[in-house]
Structure 1
Amino acid sequence: MPDKTAENKTRIISNEDYFAEVQRMLDQGKEVRIRIKGGSMRPFIEDGDTVVLQAYQGEPLALGSNVLAKDRDKYVFHRFVGKKNGQFVLAGDGNLVLREYVDKAAIVAIASMHYRKDSLKGKAIDSIGARLGGLAWYHIRLLRRIIAKLTR
């Protein structure tokens, strides 16, 4: 059982304070590793996994990239799946219908590495293979919805 010393105590802070600190570190040019909450990025990223982020500097965003964005005062970690009417279209890998439409200024960071919660070994998620796999998964959403309905 882990030792609960002052150095490794768990602290609960608000999302607002948490992401303000993430933004501060990104603004300083640091990489930031965050824990993912929720299941919207399944099956590729699970609840409790972590990802490494770098600040988004406005460079062209590769399709299939995993990004942290601020959507209407809420932070989302989803995949960039396209552009529509000048906005970036984001979708969670586990979402069968929902999408977010955000302006370029809403993109906070791009993920480069993914760590399963039970592993110390990271996997590059900004590689072309990882991005194409995520995009393929996104583009079969209709088929996934049909299968989900049939198996209920």
Structure 2
Amino acid sequence: MAENTNDSKTRVISNEDYFAEVQRILNEGKEVRIRVKGKSMRPFIQDGDTVLLRAYQGEPLVLGCNILAKDNDKFVFHRLVGKKKNQYVLAGDGNLLLREYVGAKDIIAIGYMHYPQTGGEAVDINRKWTRLRGLGWYHLRLLRRIVAKLKR
């Protein structure tokens, strides 16, 4: 029997196409597991880890939850750190300065589970303790910036 070698090939598609498919699946009421790309959610979520998402349907959001949103034609998976007027304030755990301001219409999904690529146990990222830990890390940004400058 011949082996199918096409199964191991990687296909590259645009972010627009990828997230259009993610949104389509979410709109069907299904959960979607996506791979996180980049370092903005370190130290808690690493590049290459995966997260399980559920569609955002306008429910109240709790501080510290992880959100997939579209910010100026760019998709971000960051933590909700505040609300200013009618905008939700998002920040990556690894970011020392950057924040995004998005409206409710820009929120696509909420993250519920984190699966480390190292094969460790899955983490419920919507648990109160996990959200508080992330918010605490966010509020240490000034101290983290000072330490980063001292290390240079």
Could you say what secondary structure the match of 1:45 adopts? coil
Could you say what secondary structure the match of 1:108 adopts? strand
Q: Within 5 Å, which residues of 2 pair with 1:105-144?
A: 105-119=105-119, 121-144=121-144
Percent identity between matched residues is 67
Measured in 2, the distance between the counterparts of 1:95 and 1:4 equals: 42
**Structure 2 equivalent of residue 101 of structure 1:** 101
In the TM superposition, residue 120 of structure 1 has moved relative to its aligned partner by: 6.0
In the TM superposition, residue 8 of structure 1 has moved relative to its aligned partner by: 4.4
Could you say what secondary structure the match of 1:6 adopts? helix
Measured in 1, the distance between the counterparts of 2:5 and 2:93 equals: 37
Matched to 1:20, the amino acid is A
Measured in 1, the distance between the counterparts of 2:22 and 2:120 equals: 22
In the TM superposition, residue 116 of structure 1 has moved relative to its aligned partner by: 0.7
Which 4+ stretches in 1 moved above 4 angstroms? none
Query: Deviation per CA, 1:82-124, whole angstroms, max 9, x where unpaired?
Result: 0012100000000001000010110100000001112163110
In the TM superposition, residue 6 of structure 1 has moved relative to its aligned partner by: 3.5
Q: Within 5 Å, which residues of 2 pair with 1:3-152?
A: 5-119=5-119, 121-152=121-152
Query: Deviation per CA, 1:6-51, whole angstroms, max 9, x where unpaired?
Result: 3443211111100000000000011000000000000000100000
Q: Tell me the C-alpha RMSD between the 2 structures.
A: 1.4
Taking structure 1 as the reference length, the TM-score comes to 0.95
In the TM superposition, residue 151 of structure 1 has moved relative to its aligned partner by: 1.1
Taking structure 2 as the reference length, the TM-score comes to 0.95
Unaligned runs of 5+ in 2: none
Measured in 2, the distance between the counterparts of 1:8 and 1:52 equals: 23
